[in-house]
Amino acid sequence: MEIKSVGIVGAGQMGNGIAHVFALAGFDVVMNDISQEALDAGMALIDRNMERQVSRGKVTEADKAAAMGRIRTTLKLTELGQTDLIIEAATERETVKQAIFEDLLPHLKPTTILTSNTSSISITRLASRTDRPEKFMGFHFMNPVPVMQLVELIRGIATDEPTYKALVAVVEKLGKTAASAEDFPAFIVNRILMPMINEAVYTLYEGVGNVRSIDESLKLGANHPMGPLELADFIGLDTCLAIMNVLHEGLADTKYRPCPLLTKYVEAGWLGRKTQRGFYDYRGETPVPTR
């Protein structure tokens, strides 16, 4: 089951990063989105990020040119049907993901493997709505994709061994490391990371520390490269809240209850870097804590 061509649904932060690493590794890539603006912005970002790699001597100009030439964009989801592997990297809403797979099904090759880059949604449940649950897996890249070395591989209850082995081989070809996770809410990384971020928000909510002291404490006291509130802003507070809700609902344990302050920030539309305000205000020259 050799994989040579890849279809990517979504040209946003995750989708364009995934396209970037696959193209550099020699795969033919077709990237889809619902708007031409999103596709153009995704391609521009891939170009800038590869240029940064060239300037640092990690990639040659020739490699970059070849990789950019391997990426094709399309507004038609159905054009992804003839690829060997499809990676869905759309918004983290189950109804959206199900609709994408339903639209794709009539156009797929019998051998096409379907995957989702979801950070928390049940792979078994997504797979059960398709015609190939045995050829369906979670393929969870970390953000930013070109930099982060880990890929979580999540098998649904029906995923077969050849599909799993094919994706292990793909991860190796990308030069990344695969970690196998069972299909339980939030898998490995977010099962551990998100409650830590949520606890940092509780620490702020309860007045144990302010934004700056909490982040400095974890950076200098636990040697984390980024404080938990700074990291939450980078990920997106809406994404953090969505994953905490998946954990809370899926595991029915009060220790996963989202902090009311996190909910309040999301209700205000203060989602972090992408909206210029979260636990920090990014509208000036340097980020300023909002609490």
Residues classed as catalytic = 119, 140, 152, 190
Burial of 109 (0-12, 13-18, 19+ CB in 10 A): exposed
> Of 107, 149, 151, which is closest to residue 130 (Cα–Cα)?
107
Q: CA dist 99 to 68, 86, 90, 103, 185, Å?
A: 29, 15, 11, 6, 21
Burial of 210 (0-12, 13-18, 19+ CB in 10 A): middle
- Provide the CA 248 distance to its chain's centre, in angstroms: 20
Rg over CA atoms, the chain: 19
CA contacts within 13 A on the Cβ side of 104:
31
CA contacts within 13 A on the Cβ side of 237:
28
> Of 84, 80, 107, 104, which is closest to residue 162 (Cα–Cα)?
84
What one-character-per-residue DSSP string does 177-188 give? Answer: EEEEE-SSTTTT
Measure the CA–CA gap between 265 and 268, rounded to whole angstroms.
Answer: 5
> Of 14, 37, 187, which is closest to residue 87 (Cα–Cα)?
14
Measure the CA–CA gap between 138 and 141, rounded to whole angstroms.
Answer: 10
